[in-house]
Amino acid sequence: MPDAFTTRTLNVATGTRERVVDITDDCENFLAEVAAGRDGLLNVFVPHATCGIAVIETGAGSDDDLLAALHTLLPSDDRWQHRHGSPGHGRDHVLPAIVPPHATLPVIAGHLELGTWQSVCLVDTNVDNPNRQVRLSFLGQ
């Protein structure tokens, strides 16, 4: 009998620019190994104070639109009290209040139950930290 709870850490290189990284395939690959056709929940979590998880459309400009919206909401200037790192880095520490560091998603028959245009994405605006971890945890029966 497969484990009811299984977890794994992904290492994601985001580089030195702001990024929206689609990790849907990584999530599906993890589920293919551990879910064995079962129903359950996939929790996606980033243990970082400056990035988040979004479920959005990618590839049609929505990922760039998200980054543009974040620039409007969280400008990269000197208004932030948190001042270490690159100029405007304090905004990166506010990001998880807008793009949360987690998402819990339904798994049906071992696959993510996403809408047609939905993807699971890591949102990283912190150019000072080029390497991220994402914790994938499956809870199923």
Q: Which residues contact 33 (CB under 8 A, 6 or more apart)?
A: none
pLDDT single digits (tens) 92-137: 999 999 999 999 999 999 999 999 999 999 999 999 999 999 999 9
Are the C-beta atoms of 80 and 10 separated by less than 8 Å?
no
pLDDT single digits (tens) 41-55: 999 999 999 999 999
- pTM of model > 0.85: yes
Q: Hey, what CATH class is 5-140 in?
A: mainly beta
Are the C-beta atoms of 21 and 121 separated by less than 8 Å?
yes
Residue 27 has pLDDT above 70, yes or no: yes
| Residue entry with tokens 């047609």 | 116
Who wins on pLDDT, 84 or 18? 18
Burial class (CB in 10 A: 0-12, 13-18, 19+), 23: buried
Q: Which residues contact 127 (CB under 8 A, 6 or more apart)?
A: 16, 17, 18, 86
Band of the pLDDT at 1, cuts 50, 70, 90? low
Rounded CA separation 5/80 (Å): 40
Look at residues 141, 108, 136 and name the one whose alpha carbon lies nearest to residue 47: 136
Name the residue ranges covered by the structural domains of the chain.
5-140
Burial class (CB in 10 A: 0-12, 13-18, 19+), 29: middle
